[in-house]
Structure 1
C-alpha cells in the first residue's frame, strides 16, 4: 500500500470516528468504517511481520544472534545466503 493511499485511509477512519462521536454513523458509514479498519489492521500486520522477518540481531560484540527461525525465513525470501 502506498503512503498516499494509507494516509487517505487513516484520514477517512478519523473522519468517521469524529462523526460517530459527534452525531453517530449511518449503517452504511459503520460498515465502511469497519471495512477500512480491518484493511488498515491487515496492512499494518503484514508490514510489521515483514520488518521483523528482515531483522538481523547482533550482540554487543557484533556477533549475529538472529534466531534460526528468522534465518530460515530470510533464506526462503532470498535475503540470506548462509
Structure 2
C-alpha cells in the first residue's frame, strides 16, 4: 500500500472525529482500511514463510515449507 492511501486513511479518520463523514467517505474509508489490513497480512505471511528454525538435532526446518500452505480458519 502506498503512502498516499495511508495518508487518505488518516485524513478520513481525523475528519470523522471533527465533523463526520458522508456516506461516500464512509464507504471509501472501509475500502481503504480493508486494503490496508490485507496488505499487512500479506507482508506478515511473507515474513513468516521465510523463517527457518534450527532443531535440537542440528537440522534446519523451513517453517514456510512446513506450515505455509495450510489455510487458517
Q: TM-score, normalised by structure 1?
A: 0.67
Partner of 1:71: 65
Instruction: Please list every run of 5 or more consecutive structure 1 residues that lacks an aligned counterpart in the other structure.
Output: 77-82
Aligned length: 68
Q: TM-score, normalised by structure 2?
A: 0.74
Q: Is the 8 A contact 1:56 1:64 kept in 2?
A: no
Q: Which has the higher strand share?
A: 2
Matching of residue 38 in structure 1 with residue 34 in structure 2 = yes
Q: Once superposed, which parts of structure 1, at least 4 consecutive aligned residues long, lie more than 4 Å away?
A: none
Q: What CA distance in whole angstroms lies between the structure 2 residues aligned with 1:38 and 1:15? A: 16
Q: What CA distance in whole angstroms lies between the structure 1 residues aligned with 2:45 and 2:59? A: 20
Matching of residue 10 in structure 1 with residue 35 in structure 2 = no
Matching of residue 29 in structure 1 with residue 25 in structure 2 = yes
Deviation at 1:72, TM superposition (A): 3.8
Q: Name the Cα RMSD after superposition.
A: 2.6
Q: What CA distance in whole angstroms lies between the structure 2 residues aligned with 1:70 and 1:37? A: 27
Partner of 1:51: 47
